[in-house]
Amino acid sequence: MKHSRATGNHDNIAGALLTLGVVEIHNGNFAKAEEYFLESTSLAQKTGHRERTVGALTNLSSLAAKRGLYGEARAHGVEALQLARQMGTPRAIATQLTNMGAFDFHLGNYNSAEKFLQQALELADQHDYGDVVVFARANLGEIYTHFGQYKEATFYLEAGLSLARQSQHRRAEGNLLDLLGAVALAQGNWEASESCFVQSLQIARELKYQERLGSVLVRQGILRGRSGGSRAQAIAQIEEGMTIAQAGGNRETLITARLGLAELYEIDSKDDLSDQIEIHLNAALTLAREISGGIFLMRALINWGEWQRTRAMLADAQAILEEAFTLAEKTGCRAEAALTRFGLARLALEENSREVAQSMGEESHKVLQAIGHYRAAAVEAWLSSTNR
């Protein structure tokens, strides 16, 4: 590096800076990594080295995504994709399409994300880029989970898992198992969900993959709470995952953890934990508004709206739930739209609009039952109680 700087070899310097930046990411020093990547990008652009520039921009976008700055990540990704297309290199194009799909996914632009990922998958399949195929399938599976298309989600995730195992890509295998566990969790298939989470957890611990470890611990804790397991153990797991997520700056896992803790505090609690529930729900909503307009914001809004309803803050609950419903309809998230409609139905009942409540409840149940969501049974029970 010193020799390259002394001789003014910008190309070698740019390459060395990329390597140093990657090392700093592994060390958790994101600010220093960003400095290296920015300097590398500048030098690569000066020398007209498009491949090096794409590499630097890709690292900058990845770094921004790790910090939850998906708008910034997308801006770098757009530039990288343009350069990749100018180069005409299929692998570079497929990789950048996959990255763009991931960024749009986290920004809540699910339809755009789906298009990018389908293009990436088609190109990667044509050229047998197995690693890109695995990543694209994982992201498509997650998108279809949010659409409430659990059959399609499972198809893509299981296909990705099979390929990851064939290529012995352990990190990808762990990620896909976590996502499959999440699909089973949404469907109320507790046994399948637990099996996936146990395997994913084992891989995350084996690889010391902290980001995935935090995610799986939180989801497994939520599973144990919902399936009637030890409440104390469930809370301990979520709190452990939350600590890991805080250390790594993973705000999406933090949101899921806080919503999970609030849910558990409301279940079978002999103590009045209202203050703690409100703290967690408010913190989750604040974080969700910071990072995206996607699934995490919808879930935080639904939970906060329901909480306001139970606190007799009916006007606030109505506004929050309507915001969630508009967002869910816009993004095509059928489960969240149905769950929001259920919240609005309960709100209507409290305002003595029984016919409206019944109609909205029935619509919610119809969707949840059709997609196979575990909350369909709860809505059905509520509907039966309102007919008495």
- Report domain extents, the chain: 1-88, 109-208, 214-292, 319-388
User: 109-208 has which CATH code?
Assistant: 1.25.40.10
Identical topology for domains 1-88 and 109-208: yes
CA-CA distance, 148 to 334, in Å (whole number)?
6
85-143 confidence digits (pLDDT tens): 999 999 999 999 999 999 999 888 999 999 999 999 999 999 999 999 999 999 999 99
Q: Which residues, at least 6 apart from 239, have a Cβ–Cβ distance to it below 8 Å? A: 257, 261
CATH fold of 1-88 reads 1.25.40
53-87 confidence digits (pLDDT tens): 888 888 888 888 877 788 999 999 999 999 999 99
Higher model confidence: residue 46 or residue 80? 80
The pTM is what? Answer: 0.88
DSSP 3-state assignment of 385? helix
Give whole-number Cα distances, 212 to 22, 96, 170, 178, 203, in Å: 19, 23, 12, 8, 9
Structure-token pair, residue 227: 């399936």
Q: Which residues, at least 6 apart from 193, have a Cβ–Cβ distance to it below 8 Å? A: 181, 182, 184, 185, 223
